[in-house]
Amino acid sequence: MKLTEKIKHMDFSFLSSVIAIAVGLLFGLIILLISNPAQAMGGFSTILTGAFRDMRSIGRIMYFATPIILTGLSVGFAFKTGLFNIGTPGQFIVGAFGAVIVGIKLPQMGAFGAAIVNFKLPLLGSPHWILALLAAVILGGLWALLPGILKAYANVHEVIASIMMNYIGMYLVNYLVLNTVYDRLRNQSLGVAKSAIIPKLGLDNIFPRSNVNAGFFIAILAVIVIYIILNKTTFGFELKAVGYNRDASKYAGINEKRSIILSMVIAGALAGLGGGLLYLAGTGKYIEVVDILAAEGFTGIPVALLGLSNPIGVLFAGLFIGYITVGGDYLQLYDFAPEIIDIIVASIIYFSAFSLIVKNIIDRRRIKLGGGKVQ
């Protein structure tokens, strides 16, 4: 087969992400060389290998990756259906509040709450944490409903609508925390009940002294479900069809307004689930009353870009960001300022957007070579 024929049939999607990772790591190496040339190579090697130092570090990778896999899945799912959901920080924190409020208040609901908290499921313990996660999913989905309606019926761009909902969600959650579950001594929410903490399912024995729990398996399950929806169901086909061409889909008999709304609601539900998984992990994580948008929500955007909006790609992209984060923590063994870690991680995240540019360049080249349609 001729070289041009091979190029036409090759899938460069994965290659574009690899290039993005390589560029980001190279930028990180340059920062280390400028900061401390003598220890730069040792520090860079630690970034690449530190996450495999012991089982605890591997568990930390899984813990850090769990919420950003869900927010990345949220952005990627919306993007696959022709929408850019930049409202993940708001959906994330609103969902987190739903989980926290149920996690704190349910045991106080008299006999009903006591019955749920005291009931035990095999391996899973109390269903309290499941109800708290369900609240996170519902509130996250509802928070994305308005941008979806505005997009479907008034053609208001979802970026504008969803980014405004971020700030409304942040201030609303601050207000609700202050008036419902506020710890005045620490300027944060109270801790959830023990029955609302996601069970470890034995992972604490495999990865001792790490915070990984069953939430990681929930994230993987969400990836599988979204993959099946997008690629194996008529519903998913309709969602993608509307994203590709709204008018043509309408002509084909697809209810494009319903599809747009459902796409945003599902995306919001995924982000809300990510918030619930983070704040029910039992790791001392609380909703702080501060005027800062949830970083995990914005991190989902580059995770989706790095994973090319493919659910499986998002899973590995989230694990990669967790891997770099854990490896970067060990830079403190060298004479580098702690802020270097954040700069390197941010550079990796920033250059993940480069993967989309590379993919578009490669796709245009393939079209010129007659490689057929672009996925």
Do residue 344 and residue 322 come from a single domain? no
**H or E stretch covering 233:** none
Per residue in 34-57, pLDDT tens?
888 888 898 888 888 878 888 889
Do residue 106 and residue 191 come from a single domain? yes
Do residue 277 and residue 142 come from a single domain? yes
Reference 27, options 360, 312, 349, 364; nearest CA is 349
Do residue 153 and residue 195 come from a single domain? yes
Per residue in 175-221, pLDDT tens?
999 999 999 889 999 999 999 999 998 888 899 888 899 999 999 99
- Spell out the residues 6+ positions from residue 176 whose beta carbon is closer than 8 angstroms to its own: 97, 101
CATH classification of the domain holding 308 = 1.10.3470
Do residue 258 and residue 351 come from a single domain? no
The answer as to whether 49 is a domain residue is no
The answer as to whether 93 is a domain residue is yes
Do residue 307 and residue 345 come from a single domain? no
The answer as to whether 63 is a domain residue is yes
The answer as to whether 76 is a domain residue is yes
The answer as to whether 32 is a domain residue is yes
Do residue 26 and residue 124 come from a single domain? no
Per residue in 123-154, pLDDT tens?
788 899 999 999 999 999 999 999 999 999 99
Per residue in 228-271, pLDDT tens?
999 999 999 999 998 888 888 888 888 999 999 999 999 999 99
Q: How big is the CA angle at 245 (ends 242 and 247), to the nearest 5 degrees?
A: 90
Do residue 73 and residue 186 come from a single domain? yes
Tokens, residue 3: 């070289």
Per residue in 323-334, pLDDT tens?
888 888 888 778
CA dist., res. 221 & res. 2, Å (int): 42
Do residue 146 and residue 277 come from a single domain? yes
User: What is the average pLDDT score of the chain?
Assistant: 86
Letter for the amino acid at 284? G
CA dihedral 98→104→105→108, nearest 10 degrees, is 160
pLDDT (0 to 100) of residue 369 = 63
CA dist., res. 313 & res. 75, Å (int): 12
Do residue 290 and residue 366 come from a single domain? no
Per residue in 72-106, pLDDT tens?
999 999 999 999 999 999 999 999 999 999 999 98
CA dist., res. 241 & res. 252, Å (int): 10
Domain, as residue range, for 311: 59-327
Do residue 235 and residue 359 come from a single domain? no
The answer as to whether 64 is a domain residue is yes
| Least reliable range by pLDDT among 107-121, 224-238, 275-289, 340-354 | 340-354
Q: Is the pLDDT of residue 374 over 50?
A: no
The answer as to whether 251 is a domain residue is yes
Note the helical H segments in the chain.
3-9, 13-35, 40-49, 55-80, 88-105, 110-118, 128-143, 145-154, 158-180, 203-206, 215-232, 234-244, 246-251, 256-279, 295-306, 311-329, 339-352, 354-368
Instruction: Please tell me which residue, 299 or 264, carries the higher pLDDT value.
Output: 264
- For tokens 């399950």, name the residue: 221
What's the domain count of the chain?
2
Do residue 310 and residue 368 come from a single domain? no
pLDDT (0 to 100) of residue 11 = 52
Q: Is the pLDDT of residue 358 over 70?
A: no
The answer as to whether 256 is a domain residue is yes
| Whole-prediction pTM | 0.90
